[in-house]
Homo-oligomer: A and B are copies of this chain.
Amino acid sequence: MATISDVATKAGVSTATVSRALNGVSSVDPELVARVVNAARTLGYQPNGPARSLRRQETAVLALIISDVENPFFTAIARGVEDVAQAVGYSVVLCNSDEDTGKERRYLDVAIQERVAGVIISPTGTPSNVDVLRDRGTPVVAVDRPLAERSCDCVLVDTRDAARHATGHLIEEGYQRIGCITGPAGVPTADDRLAGYREALRAAGRDADARLVRRAEYRAAGANKATHELYQEHNRPDGLLVANSAMAIGVLEALASIGLRLGSDVGVVAFDDVPWATLLDRPLSVVAQPAYDMGGAAANLLLERIADSDRAPTTTTLNARLIERASSTRL
């Protein structure tokens, strides 16, 4: 593969001039630039990335570590990140931590070893994993979930507020015993959505009945099981707040198999807008999070921090939007 010195020989100049010409340093004789560009093209020259990174002590790649590639919410974030990064010449490498602290740790190590310019992460488990980056001065932005230490840029949505709204909506629609199916304890979004749910009940002068709350992994299977449990008890809920779209699938399957109809028998609102929401017989009401914008905002924040590591940490909080459909309407 052609190197910079092949190009230099072919163009009859030094490697320094080739480097300057190809990197757009203005002080190069236009005629030489033309010769260099020509030589590079005929040789099919492509710069050696590792050599450049080694010399410059920096790379033009960002790492994005998410907890589930198959969750549309996270892939939408990924698009947002990528579109912003691409526009300024950065590449993005997408890593899937799968809600596994060990995997997350390994990817962080890879990110450090490859000397990426910065990391955007939706942190899984303990914040100590991320400390590894901060110790080395690698810029980090947390997205979707805050880091325990507030000393880090974050892009969040006001998910507790959104949960409160959604629950309030179910109350207004006349549902009496509203339950909540949320993610594992310790996952901030799961806890916040539960907190918002409780606030709404309290604000309406109702007791939050702990027996109507279930936790499970953020996946269909766990939510399915949790729903079946909930409906084996005496006090069956007639309303349900579901904390993510994967869970919604498990919940809706369970309700169908029990023979309950959405809206009339049980009002349901789920987090995350999904393209199939409107295909259901009773279309699904959702809390739509601005995932694409979150990704874009996170990327911008990261780029700013890369440019200026002394900037004070910012937290950007975006709002979610409740979309009311038939699944949360009595008739």
Contact = CB atoms under 8 A, between A and B. Distances in A.
Contacts of A1: 136
A151 interface: no
- Chain B CB within 10 Å — which of A1, A79, A114 has the most? A114
A184 interface: no
Contacts of A253: 278-279
A280 interface: yes
Contacts of A112: 46
A15 interface: no
Contacts of A91: 93, 95, 110, 114
**What class of interface size applies to chain A in its complex with B?**
35 or more
Interface string A231-272: 000000000000000100100110010000000000000000
A109 interface: yes
Nearest to A110: B91
- Chain B CB within 10 Å — which of A50, A135, A253 has the most? A50
Contacts of A54: 48, 50-51, 54
A122 to B, nearest CB: 15
A274 B274 CA distance: 12
A203 to B, nearest CB: 32
Contacts of A276: 249, 274, 276, 279
| Copies of chain A in the complex | 2
A220 B276 CA distance: 10
Contact of A75 (B50, B70, B280, B281): B70
- Chain B CB within 10 Å — which of A48, A78, A249, A276 has the most? A276
Contact of A53 (B47, B50, B220): B50
A275 interface: yes
A153 interface: no
Contacts of A49: 50, 110, 113-115
A129 interface: no
A101 interface: no
A59 interface: yes
Interface string A108-148: 01101111000000000000000000011000000000000
B280 A280 contact: yes
A71 B110 CA distance: 27
A196 to B, nearest CB: 26
Interface of A: 1, 44, 46-51, 53-54, 59, 69-70, 72, 75-76, 78-79, 82, 91, 93-96, 109-110, 112-115, 135-136, 220, 246, 249, 252-253, 256, 274-276, 278-281
18 contacts: A46-B113, A46-B136, A48-B113, A49-B110, A49-B114, A50-B50, A50-B114, A51-B54, A69-B94, A79-B96, A82-B96, A91-B93, A93-B93, A93-B94, A94-B94, A246-B275, A276-B279, A281-B281
